[in-house]
Structure 1
Amino acid sequence: MNDTAHPPTAPLRARAEIDLAAVRANVRALRGRVAGAAVMAVVKSDAYGHGALPCARAAVEAGATWLGTATPEEALALRAAGLSPARARIMCWLWTPGGPWREAIEADLDLSVSGMWALAEVREAARQAGRPARVQLKADTGLGRNGCQPADWPELVAEALRAEAEGLIRVTGLWSHFACADEPGHPSIAAQLALFRDMIAHAEQRGLRPEVRHIANSPAALTLPESHFDLVRAGIAVYGVSPSAELGTPADFGLRPAMTLSASLALVKHVPGGHGISYGHHYATPGETTLGLVPVGYADGVPRHASGTGPVLVGGKWRTVAGRVAMDQFVVDLGGDEPEIGSEAVLFGPGDRGEPTAEDWAQAAGTIAYEIVTRIGTRVPRVYVNEVDEAGERPERAEGGERDTRDG
């Protein structure tokens, strides 16, 4: 998390308010949809920009028994912050040669292995650590990224069995990842499920006994019960964002967006008609009007692709980015309204107050809502609200984050 020198009560240039009660409620909603399967809360990329440690704690409080990260460094940081194996299993899946295998083994992480090179490095690290590694074998069932190809799967399974017999690893899971689960009815979904079942069957027939088998990401967890197996990996849904507008809104799934991004107007001024705005003068005022300066830009994660289209709530009305988004600021045409300098400009939030949502910004920028929340930069402090869980206990403060005094 990013540090800030401002106390929680001081006005902030900008803030990303993270509602931890929403995170907990989203995890509970997911658990209700996947009855019989465990929930992994994916907290990679600083919990999709929301703050890994506070969100991990909130997810565990709500019943997530697994946490997922991309890199081993992300997973090791969670362990170092006090998320012990007794509180949550943690899996990491994006490895490169020479990675911190031994440290991960000693931290009781579950390590994804997609090929023979990785299995060889795990075995050596386990010898050095003097304890077996927890390994999950990943199958490429059609996504074409990480994972073992079906043709190579028998060799990887056979070598994993040998490593188990040597006492160097324990295969705890078999897993894969969907390519198009956010596209209802896409033919690859059924094809990947069938291939995953075949690859599981091969591994189990040869003698592997995994604790968990999993392929479901957020869209599959929400819409494909046949994909749930023993565990679902929920990423964007944990933060209350729908995986795709085509599947439905967050409310359709009982989810609530956890992040609200806002800024304080830095300037309000009168300008004449025909006044060019921002670099390139791609916007000129149609007549005499007022302009509001919003002090965030693409260095803060506001997408430049939303120049001229990004929506902002100011003074109870939707405004649109006027001209280009600059590095540190952008302008909105207030149409003659004169809100006070310092008034709140809400870029996105849950939508309760009529403000835009992350999906609205995604549509404006021609991208996906995942990118909108994940890209919010380190200059924007995260301010956590509703930190007190339902038991009335306040978790220890997450390093580098601010705390709001409101309780849940």
Structure 2
Amino acid sequence: MPKTWNIKIDNYFQANPNCIIATAHVDSFPIDLPLEPNIREPNRKSATYRQIFDSLTTEPVKFFSRHSGITLCANKVKLNKTLLELEIKEASEGGSDGIINGGHTVLAFEQAKNYKYDLTLARVKVTIHIGLTEESALDIALASNTTTPVDSRSKVNARGDYKFIKQYLADLEQKEDRKFRIAYYQNQSGAPRNAQCNVTHLLKLLYCLDRNKYNPDSNKRAKHPAGMSIPSNITDAERERLTALLPLLSQSLWIEQRLYEIIQEHISSPRRKGSNDLASIDIRKTTLLPDSKYSFGFGAPTDLALPIIASYRVFLDKDYKWILPFNEFAEDFLQHLWANYFRKYLVSEKTAGNTVGTKISRNQEIWESLYISAQSYLNQHLMQMVKSGKSEEAPVTQGTKGRLQAGKK
């Protein structure tokens, strides 16, 4: 059943049959209105919140003239001269009602009441839209002026463009008995601020395995996903591409997790006690990964694993199917990359006094070296299969045949 909230007012007028604008009392304003239509959760540490709180508590009489107001959406509104009764359907009931813009303002009301400020003379303008569709509510939320920029991830989420990813992860959680911690929008409660748990990081993990878009053997400009940018708008074509890549998410998460475990083992048994010889690995911090089972006692650059994950695309065919069974080569190949290249790279950068940080995602040399190493590893593996008479056990694509012939030469 829809719930009802009462807003005490001085006056109101109807801007149109489905929109009411009123002057509301702050001291009795409901602070538990749903935030569902809002595109981000309020952050009491933000400059926006502090400015609203200071304005409200220092000169409550002037708050109405200094503040742009609150925008709400309700399923129905009953009117009288001193009270508005709002009927609100929450998301679980198929509604999209609640605070569209003004979450920081309502949070300031709540805190001011908790601190016993006298708000009896404070008023706020309230705009109430009646019977909006979810699409219309989100459109208003996106268009609302805010003093603090809203990140593009929150806008993509507000448009519902991440729904297919959320559904895939929900199915994966149930199928594999695991729990993900992913932040889809700004200031999302219950989600870590750790950059590896950002939905955009998940997208990067997938893009790294797109062997059709990033293929050094083709004539395309995009040889490697170095310095990749996440689109601010997921088009139908992009959704189709990502949907094809989603079955590879578990493997990309596994590669990142195993790399972090290898690093943890390395820094836990250093040659000199208390020392860390890897660039940009900070033993004073911690890192959380998207799968809630994995936490590590060191900080690392967000993009640290991306070049390694990208090298695995050598083992994929044009339909994003593994040429070799993933479980049969993944661990050995990762150990090969770590021992023969990646560890040496991090050690040499630390010795030179450098940090890798975000530079690692733009370093074409790293992506190229790891990709070539992967090609060599695959060719050697296929040659061994041919010699042992087991070549028929692995489906060989046209691209693989070319690499195999190159190996024979």
Task: Indicate the TM-score class for this superposition, using the shorter chain for normalisation.
Answer: under 0.3
Structure with a larger share of its residues in strand: 1
Structure with a larger share of its residues in helix: 2
TM-score under structure 2 length normalisation: 0.20
Of the two, which has the highest radius of gyration? 2
